[in-house]
Structure 1
Amino acid sequence: METEEKNYWPLGILSILLIGLSLVVALVIVAIKYTPQSDNSYLHQHTYTDSHINGMLSTYNAFRQTYSLELVNGNQKVEPLFPFYINQNTPLLWLSNWHNTLSLQVQHKDHKALAPTFSVAVLRTKQKTLDLGNIACTTQKKESTCLLPPFNLPLKGHYQIMIKVNLQGGELPLIQPAYVR
């Protein structure tokens, strides 16, 4: 006489399916109960950039044809980009907490072009902006050197150095990512 074996596979599969279905139902209930509220903050902050990006890029390309700009910290030279987030390999500018001395080196490719003026600010998320103001430049032949006043940064981490280039045709914001060690 043979004993009949019980097959528990269908019960195991059914229990896994029921557990999965109950998890999906729980996730849907949580998603409906805690829906994010749209406050249009993205549209408020980025509408100008999104609608004027072509004009900004043409201003940047015209600037690059007329000038060459480098941000110098000690022996490190970087070129601030516009917009910096397009290039994933944008190099970081390394800074320290105390006595940062930066300079801008501007080379004039066109002899007839007027020297632009610069204003610089150091930005950090959820912190007060450190405004370094308008920068005085000294011009020698085809090159200008602009020395920023020494500044201190209280916290380690990621910063952004925003350089506003004031041209006769408008204003061009250049941003250089930086890191304080």
Structure 2
Amino acid sequence: MSKRERIEKGKEELDISGSKTIGERIKEKTPWLFGSKLRKPKISYPKVAGRRIVLPTPSKTFGLILIYAILFILQVGVVYLLYRETPALGADSAGDPIFLYPSIQESFIVEGIVASILLFVSSTGFLLLYQASKYSYNRNLALRILVIGFILIISAFISLQYMLTVKLGKTAWWEL
């Protein structure tokens, strides 16, 4: 048995049904247009194995912290600080400090920060609701995490509604 026959036999043995790629199948079925006078070129590109920088992939926690930081910066209203100069804190006619701007379209910097923190607390509550589903085998732990998540969500919602009530000058939040 010649060397060529052994190579062909080895190829036949290694061929697994369905292992050919679409490109290989198209090459086999595509006819050579120029007949036998011109040979079909066989191009093999060199495999360049250069050095690559191997960096550790960041954890999901790092990605979540990064997303929270970006959302916090956007929610505080840093974008609006660039366009117009918003006061950090205000005062009424008697000189007493006020924390909520009387108009619904504008806000003080402190008000934006507080609202952003409350939205952060609310989203943390939703994350805790998600985490509670992971501890279904330990019912007590899952229930504790679930209750803490609900408390965070409800408290943030009530606080934001109260801020809107005071901002609009209403007496009760359900009158909004």
Query: What range is the shorter-chain TM-score in?
Result: under 0.3
Q: Which has the larger radius of gyration?
A: 2
- TM-score w.r.t. structure 2 length? 0.23
Structure that is richer in helix per residue = 2
- TM-score w.r.t. structure 1 length? 0.22
Q: Which has the higher contact order (CA 8 A, sep 6+)?
A: 1
